[in-house]
Structure 1
Amino acid sequence: MPHVVTQSCCSDASCVYACPVNCIHPTPDEPDFLTAEMLHIDPASCVDCGACVSACPVDAIVPQSKLTDSQQRYLGINADFYREPRQRPLLAPVTPPPAARQDVAALRVAIVGSGPAAMYAADELLTQPDVQVNVFDRLPTPHGLVRAGVAPDHQHTKQVSELFETIADQPGFEYYLNVEVGTDLTHQDLLEHHHAVIYAVGASSDRRLNISGVDLPGCASATDFVAWYNGHPDHAHHPFDLSHPRAVIIGNGNVALDVARILTADPDQLAATDIAAPALEALRNSRIEEVVIVGRRGVAQSAFTVPEFAGLLAVPNLRVRLDPAHFELDEVTARRERDGSLDHSVVQKLRMLRELSTRDSATPGRKQITLRYLSAPKRIVGEDHVAGVELVATSLVLGDDGVLRAKPTGHAETLDAGLVLTSIGYRGIPVTGLPFDEAGGVVPNSDGRVLDRVDGDRVPGTYVAGWIKRGPTGYIGTNKSCAQETVNALVDDFNCGLLTAPTTKASALKRFVSRRQPAVVDRAGWQAIDRVELQRGAVQHRVRDKIVDRAEMVTLAAARPHRLLRLSPLHRVRK
């Protein structure tokens, strides 16, 4: 009886290495690993040992016998991946990390950022004996987009934070939270106290939609909206107008699906999650009945992933609609579908979208999400506030370079709406003191080693990991292999004597940081915040009650109420 991957998995490949028969693919050593939307278990090879279940940090793997009705779709998704034979070794090779030399002072590394890329980098470094890793973040809480980006109704995905806590439990690890590098500390300050600095600061800005009306009240980025409902202290009290029956989201990636799902969710169901209290109250009073997700290209170019869309279709009491007129395949896709050369994920998306377009439009549902394709935003309509969005119909044109591009046809239509959210991608922002590639939105680098833009020389002791290194691609677990590459380069440089030793003792760092930022939150301080959030959540029968005020977090961290019992959100999700 095979096991099945049943949701957006983290793709960190822990299950791959746990599997004794190499039946989970693609593996990190296979060329399609970095572009795969999820991992798949070969039903013909699975021996039902359950090793992958124990290894998965987000509970994404389920035995076939325990699949729920809403999860049955994943059985076919996994099996279809193996319809074409894959050449593979008996077992996926595990590449051991390089060993840091022991004849010099122990390696000390600063990591800026505390999201998945940062935590995976810390884990790789801490495989070395006597290494000290200090993680800095401008927020009083760690874990980056896992805390502030993953949707609250995806609690299983958020469980990867339990892995991050295990990483932080290791000797040699310390947090310096509520400390902003570039303001409280400089890059040079970090280098004086460490052999090297790894920047894992993500891609925290949105790509801007350059049309008229985007600055009107009622138009915002989907990223800001996500930060709002996740309780990011910089966004938790941002006002969003939910009084109009329709909202429009420009872009159809996973973030767009998350936002649409939250806007149409039953607030009573969200109440059990870790959604921010101000957002939950606003959603209880929301008058939104329909969310329209707009894509400028066709169904075959949908930016969302298969597991995210499958999860959306499984939401009870929600009507997801696609007008049959919008299910239009471009000539290239139609030809590739006929000859069987379409990518597996595209085949799966088309199958689900084709089924959706043939559904009875009167299918009951409390609220509705409408998928609209071949439509491009021309302008946001309104005077003092968003009143709608003007869309122009597009057609796909094959360029001389073989790329399909959306071209406006001239036919326009205005959709009434009170809220317009743009979700057309993330972009990195410049890091103080580091070179920056404006075109790519990344720090220029080679295998994680930061390069000077002018002459291409290495910037001594400076490295990058995650989205600021490679751009906004991949999933939570993709950062593991990305961090491995960076850490391998760093340790090689350390072994070759290319890193300058710190000019201070390791014990001097805490005093130095406290002078620059007296409100610094260390690991014990974060644990105090965490305990209080979990305790307050338990009283309300919630996963946690997030604190959204920075000053309150700092006060709690300083008090450190160690007598409180730490309650695991992992335990409560499974209850």
Structure 2
Amino acid sequence: MAFAITQTCCADASCVSVCPVNCIHPAPGEPDFGRTEMLYIDPGTCIDCGACADACPVDAIFPAVDLTGPLRAYEEINAEYYAGRDVLAEASVAPNFHRWAPPDFGRILPSDFAPLDVAVVGTGPAGMYAVEDLLLHTNARVTLVDRLPVAGGLIRYGVAPDHPSTKKIGETFARFHDHPRLRLRLGVEAGPELAGRHDAVIYAVGATQARRLGVPGEDLPGSLPAATVVGWYNGHPDAAPVDLSTERVVVVGAGNVALDIARILTADPDALADTAIAPAALARLRSGKVREVVLLARRGPSDAAYTRPELLALAARGDLVVDAHDPRIAAAIDGAEPGDKAALLQGVPREAVDWSSPPPDGRRRVILRFHSAPVSFRGDTEIRGVTVSGPAGEVEIPAGRVVRAAGFRGAAVAGLPFDAETGTVPNTAGRVEGVPGTYVAGWIKRGPSGGIGANKECARETVGTLLEDAVAGRLPRRRRSGLRAKLRGRA
């Protein structure tokens, strides 16, 4: 019997480090690490010890024989990753062992290394992985700052409320909030005084701005960025209520965030009652009129932006429909090989949707429309519909709301250089050039790509660069007195 990794995998590789037979891949340092949708357990090598399941921060690992329902597919998904690989050829001791990489002592700090005072701005995954690294592997004193009154960042306000296992990683991060070398300051805007009173500052502020579509009507009332909708159902203090008085909502994009939004807007409110959804959002879902959400995917079924785990979770509800408006769609699905994203849609109903008719009565549904991109948003004083491209020309899809889920971009940070094209702070391995003692981690560093676990290696690189600068004497002298009083006054 072997274990299998399932839908909620965060890919932070906590499981890799505890596996006694090195059977979880791709591992940090391997070419595929950070490029796959999740990590995978080799069923031919796993010895069923369960160490990985104990270490997983998001409860994503189970014995394969215990998987039921939609999770049952993950036994095959794990095995598929190793199909065609000659495990025995890679073994160095016995069939149960892969070849281990040589020891890596990339960080060597002097024995008399003085404690650093480091400020970390942002309590999301990137910031907390940086905090974890500093507190566990150095003697640094850390001041953790967030402008919001509740810690968590993307975990608290970005993960869908019906993904409790994914949100559970917040508990792993929260254990550092009471660490004796950490001062937590919430509801505080980070200002220039941080740089003046710390040896170094790490900005892990994410990417909070919506990527523009550049189509006419994009700014009409009723056209909402995905962050607004996600923040609303997660109770973000800055999010405004979302009007659900329309029967049809169009979501531009087919990434994981788009699928989350479609799933929440069409869910049975009773099924969300015991989740982390904001009470005000749940009440509005109960009274709302939304019965149909249309996902516009620019590419085809084999190249859609969503991950296989997210599509499996949506398809398992039984209310997913594929719009069969283009013959290329059926050909891609029917001809898909196992492991192809399109193969996951082989059991999903297809329908030539009549957009001139209202959504069907008596049920909610999500429609995937591939090979479609918005040409314009139609309306006078508010959104009335979307004009989309198609193989037979342009098509009008009536809708009272549009959600733009085409990606995120970072916003400029006061006092730091900013690349407006990429939405990032220019850096070298996390070091902000030209601003000594200042570093970045997460999406503001590398752009909005990669899930929760990708931030672990990203933060590790940044902290390594910071320590390298400290050992080399490249950090500027700081004035450390009065920070606590200053922050208290701004709280």
TM-score (norm 2): 0.91
Q: Using the TM superposition, give the Cα deviation of residue 349 of structure 1 relative to its aligned residue in structure 2, in angstroms.
A: 0.9
Alignment of 1:43-192 (within 5 A): 43-85=43-85, 87=90, 89-91=98-100, 95=104, 98-101=107-110, 103=112, 105-181=114-190, 185-186=191-192, 189-192=193-196
Q: Using the TM superposition, give the Cα deviation of residue 172 of structure 1 relative to its aligned residue in structure 2, in angstroms.
A: 0.7
3-state SS of paired residue (1:450): coil
**Which amino acid counterpart does residue 379 of structure 2 have in structure 1?**
G
Conserved in 2, the CA contact under 8 Å of 1:391 and 1:413?
yes
Alignment of 1:189-228 (within 5 A): 189-228=193-232
The reply to whether residue 322 of structure 1 matches residue 322 of structure 2 is: yes
Q: Which residue of 1 aligns with 2:6?
A: 6
Q: Using the TM superposition, give the Cα deviation of residue 97 of structure 1 relative to its aligned residue in structure 2, in angstroms.
A: 6.4
Q: 2:305 aligns with which of 276, 283, 303?
A: 303
Give the whole-Å Cα distance in 2 for the aligned partners of 1:7 and 1:365. 30
Q: 1:276 aligns with which of 278, 291, 303?
A: 278
Q: Using the TM superposition, give the Cα deviation of residue 139 of structure 1 relative to its aligned residue in structure 2, in angstroms.
A: 0.5
Conserved in 1, the CA contact under 8 Å of 2:302 and 2:340?
no
Give the whole-Å Cα distance in 2 for the aligned partners of 1:424 and 1:360. 25
Q: Which residue of 2 aligns with 1:523?
A: none
The reply to whether residue 484 of structure 1 matches residue 466 of structure 2 is: no
Q: Which residue of 2 aligns with 1:499?
A: 475
3-state SS of paired residue (2:384): strand
**Which amino acid counterpart does residue 372 of structure 1 have in structure 2?**
R
3-state SS of paired residue (1:350): helix
Counting aligned pairs with the same residue, the percent is 47
3-state SS of paired residue (2:348): helix
Range moving further from structure 2, 209-218 or 194-203:
209-218
Change over 3 Å in CA distance of 1:367–1:118 after alignment to 2:
same
More helix by share: 1
Conserved in 1, the CA contact under 8 Å of 2:321 and 2:350?
no
Q: How many residues align?
A: 475
Gaps of 5+ in 1: 395-408, 453-458, 521-575
Give the whole-Å Cα distance in 2 for the aligned partners of 1:442 and 1:449. 13
Alignment of 1:425-504 (within 5 A): 425-452=407-434, 459-504=435-480
Give the whole-Å Cα distance in 2 for the aligned partners of 1:504 and 1:246. 56
Alignment of 1:550-561 (within 5 A): none
Q: Using the TM superposition, give the Cα deviation of residue 368 of structure 1 relative to its aligned residue in structure 2, in angstroms.
A: 0.7
Alignment of 1:374-453 (within 5 A): 374-393=371-390, 411-452=393-434
3-state SS of paired residue (1:126): helix
Give the whole-Å Cα distance in 2 for the aligned partners of 1:38 and 1:155. 18
The reply to whether residue 513 of structure 1 matches residue 475 of structure 2 is: no
**Which amino acid counterpart does residue 289 of structure 1 have in structure 2?**
R
Q: Using the TM superposition, give the Cα deviation of residue 327 of structure 1 relative to its aligned residue in structure 2, in angstroms.
A: 6.3
Residues 285-315 of structure 1: per-residue CA shift (max 9 Å, x gap): 1111111100122122200011111111123
Q: 2:346 aligns with which of 348, 354, 372?
A: 354
Q: Which residue of 2 aligns with 1:399?
A: none
3-state SS of paired residue (1:163): helix
Change over 3 Å in CA distance of 1:330–1:132 after alignment to 2:
farther
Conserved in 2, the CA contact under 8 Å of 1:15 and 1:53?
yes
Q: Using the TM superposition, give the Cα deviation of residue 357 of structure 1 relative to its aligned residue in structure 2, in angstroms.
A: 5.1
Conserved in 2, the CA contact under 8 Å of 1:139 and 1:178?
yes
Conserved in 2, the CA contact under 8 Å of 1:270 and 1:280?
yes
Conserved in 2, the CA contact under 8 Å of 1:24 and 1:41?
yes
**Which amino acid counterpart does residue 175 of structure 1 have in structure 2?**
L
RMSD of the alignment, in Å?
A: 2.5
**Which amino acid counterpart does residue 489 of structure 1 have in structure 2?**
T
Gaps of 5+ in 2: 92-97, 354-359
Q: Which residue of 2 aligns with 1:369?
A: 366
3-state SS of paired residue (2:202): strand
Give the whole-Å Cα distance in 2 for the aligned partners of 1:365 and 1:172. 57
Give the whole-Å Cα distance in 1 for the aligned partners of 2:104 and 2:127. 20
Q: Using the TM superposition, give the Cα deviation of residue 92 of structure 1 relative to its aligned residue in structure 2, in angstroms.
A: 5.8
3-state SS of paired residue (2:295): strand
**Which amino acid counterpart does residue 214 of structure 1 have in structure 2?**
E
Change over 3 Å in CA distance of 1:466–1:327 after alignment to 2:
farther
TM-score (norm 1): 0.78
Give the whole-Å Cα distance in 2 for the aligned partners of 1:379 and 1:154. 33
Q: Using the TM superposition, give the Cα deviation of residue 358 of structure 1 relative to its aligned residue in structure 2, in angstroms.
A: 6.2
Give the whole-Å Cα distance in 1 for the aligned partners of 2:33 and 2:102. 14
Conserved in 1, the CA contact under 8 Å of 2:134 and 2:140?
yes
Conserved in 1, the CA contact under 8 Å of 2:320 and 2:349?
no
Give the whole-Å Cα distance in 1 for the aligned partners of 2:197 and 2:327. 58
Conserved in 2, the CA contact under 8 Å of 1:218 and 1:240?
no
